[in-house]
Structure 1
């Protein structure tokens, strides 16, 4: 039987972090632009190394930012176990109040970027001084254990490092299981004997309060982001750019040459004893200046388009070597970038910037693959947020909301559509299909949860005023129905 004591769990979680440290570190380096050097000859000089440094063209952040910028939770509909959605305003629900208290409008992006970059990230939901809050945890410092990592949404235990070991100071970490929070200290992630665990308190939830946000999980429980599969293509682009820089530095310009003559040498003055001197009055002779290896050093030739070359010896010949072509290298870079765009499902218009003379239909077709990928991320991340909301409701003491699995995360519509196009489409849905107009309000581009609820309130107020006006109109008799007085009857007669 497996040992499930807190100390054993802490050792296993730290071992997972130690095992994945190299892989996570490499992904992090590529996101930050610290790539592996392209191939260079073993005897490469400083000029080659400078060109290699300048050849890094970091496309990785674009692959992370493009889907992350289209993921934005704009609201949460609590739902109801009965038929139909809950009529309570979503902005006043316990779940959404926890969201605003945690400032997740701004912090959610970092959670998505971590999940897209490393394959997964985590969110911790806990009680704080100002109420229940949630915050993101880095995949480089956090690990979780699952009985079935491919299908379980609730971890058996989770650990996050809060301070790394430094000198004699031990590293510190926090760990949670299904009931308690623990303080963990250690000397090294690989040193299991140095791990110490102390129970702190009950965290208040009925299960581990850490939620995993995984970009992609296979049936083996492995998570993969958008960065790791693209590292090989990124290295290919860097190599092509390096080859281009080398070619344009050494072969892209016409080279002039002269044969049958020796270049002038650098000269230095010597005194009567043969020592080098810089005083012209002490100098009695001159000789070629030697380098460290004892070879004469040629003088630099100041030649440009305004100077003319000539020689006294009739056997001297002048000529030039043509520049080497670089178009093939440019085409190679363009091809590699296109491969990167195709494999990562990033529209070519995002990476190449070629949007001239493209119709709206062409742009929509180019972004179809990206929209499918974003929809997949919304599905998996939405399930994770729903668990976070249930945990928040449970910690707030809302038992009904904690057991409600009918809630739904509402994602902001980030597709490129004009307001006029959206209004025309929504109008046709209402007129031709009979969809209630109020049910289409959330489809308006850019509308927030608060704006939607304001519209609902204003519509109810307008409806109340209209009903009151109708009631007053029905209660007030018209002029024609009022009986005429006796004087009016005599006048009429």
Structure 2
């Protein structure tokens, strides 16, 4: 591809990336709870000013975090196609995963995808000039990256673009193709913010002075960026986890703001009085209507000199209606997002373990579906990592499999009881350990410890008990008549 063609493709991808920015920013702001009081009434603002400026009863964060915190890849397998040789967890894949700190950053990728509908993983050589090239996996943000697919395909990646702002007043971008990379930069109005292409002060130009700083060969022969889509669809774009509950989230916060306004205006019982003689001006004889006279509080008392004066209280505002409305909306949020109701309750009382398991069935089912799609993405990431190392066999192996930690939360007693029942059915030991929640690294360590225990037991049986040889010799000597003679 020529430089002009690469520049045109960069412009096309950049326009689509700009189109996504507004929605991603809104989803992220709702997740952080930073826009929930934008609808506050003038009465609320007059009553509280900026007192609750940072307030947010934010359930969107719970809806997004509930599934992402249960998605934890713990290893990878690469099948051989031979059923007689079942694959174990690949140790090289585990080392690559650990060296890129993906135990932690994969959690970030799942959270980002849950909030922004997409996350990205980039695979490239950590040091291309090293004697032994090692892969590096990095998690990329949806505001900076985009992947384009071949026409009519949702799997075959055609190109990818990463755009970010530097601290030197330049904006940088890299176009990833199956056979080459193109690097660009341009001057922007400021730094520290990812600016859309319409705000750029200049067009893209080569990043460096030498030709090899602009175009780089791609030895992987595959686009090295993978898109992790949340709730993928065939023709529609992926969506964030909290998209359908955003209106309910805004309604919850509005009801709480209204309740605070009502508590300020009517929760304190208002007092009334009749037949009160107002003080008079000694010079004019006119009644003085002093506003301070009617500013009542808990520590103030009303009194009157007129014997016919009467006093009383209005009923305080009932806030239970607001509480009922907020409870109803949070129940709808729970049902629509399949987030367990226990996540929305301040306390749990008299709930059995079976009831908790049933309440989490929807979330567990949703997480299992996510592991299916995300597992395919992480397998492609690991194949790219092996291609970086020059391992064509595992880099093109279609039988890769992601090993996930169990997405269900169960007590230790329930977990071990289930494992023992599987053992009675004849499930192999290593599979039992995986079902028990141990990682491949922990299972390998336990396997070595079992071998050491077995060797130690065998060595102890190889020696006779002290005194056993003397006792046996005496018995043989008594049994031989010639020796006795």
> For the superposition of Structure 1 and Structure 2, which TM-score range results when normalised by the shorter chain?
0.7 to 0.9
Is residue 481 of structure 2 the alignment partner of residue 489 of structure 1? Answer: yes
Cα deviation, 1:55-105, whole Å, max 9, x if unaligned, reads 5211121112111111111122233233345667633x2x22211110111
Q: Contact 2:112–2:118 (CA<8 Å) still a contact in 1?
A: yes
Is residue 145 of structure 2 the alignment partner of residue 145 of structure 1? Answer: no
Counterpart in 1 of 2:25?
Answer: 25
Counterpart in 2 of 1:222?
Answer: 237
**Which runs of structure 2 are paired with 1:215-364 in the superposition (5 Å)?**
215-261=230-276, 298-299=291-292, 303=296, 308-313=301-306, 316-364=309-357
Gaps of 5+ in 2: 128-132, 189-195, 208-213
Counterpart in 2 of 1:450?
Answer: 441
Q: Contact 2:77–2:88 (CA<8 Å) still a contact in 1?
A: no
Counterpart in 2 of 1:280?
Answer: none
Which one is further off, 338-347 or 80-89? Answer: 80-89
TM-score (norm 1): 0.82
Gaps of 5+ in 1: 268-284, 289-294
Is residue 204 of structure 2 the alignment partner of residue 195 of structure 1? Answer: yes
Counterpart in 2 of 1:173?
Answer: 173
Cα deviation, 1:171-192, whole Å, max 9, x if unaligned, reads 2122211111221234551379
Q: CA deviation at 1:149?
A: 7.4
Q: CA deviation at 1:301?
A: 5.4
Q: Contact 1:174–1:182 (CA<8 Å) still a contact in 2?
A: yes
C-alpha spacing 1:417/1:259, structure 2 compared with 1 (3 Å): same
Is residue 122 of structure 2 the alignment partner of residue 114 of structure 1? Answer: no
Q: CA deviation at 1:464?
A: 5.7
Counterpart secondary structure, 1:356:
coil
**CA–CA separation in structure 2 for the residues paired with 1:358 and 1:56:** 29
Counterpart secondary structure, 1:136:
strand
Counterpart secondary structure, 2:221:
coil
Greater C-alpha Rg:
1
Cα deviation, 1:222-271, whole Å, max 9, x if unaligned, reads 11111222211111101111111111111112101234557669x9xxxx
Counterpart secondary structure, 1:409:
strand
TM-score (norm 2): 0.83
Is residue 430 of structure 2 the alignment partner of residue 438 of structure 1? Answer: yes
Q: CA deviation at 1:15?
A: 0.5
Counterpart in 2 of 1:271?
Answer: none
Aligned equivalent of 1:409, options 379, 398, 402: 402
C-alpha spacing 1:469/1:212, structure 2 compared with 1 (3 Å): same
C-alpha spacing 1:361/1:44, structure 2 compared with 1 (3 Å): closer
Q: CA deviation at 1:373?
A: 0.8
C-alpha spacing 1:406/1:7, structure 2 compared with 1 (3 Å): same
Q: CA deviation at 1:303?
A: 4.9
Counterpart in 2 of 1:123?
Answer: 121
Is residue 392 of structure 2 the alignment partner of residue 399 of structure 1? Answer: yes
Counterpart secondary structure, 2:409:
coil
**CA–CA separation in structure 2 for the residues paired with 1:391 and 1:313:** 92
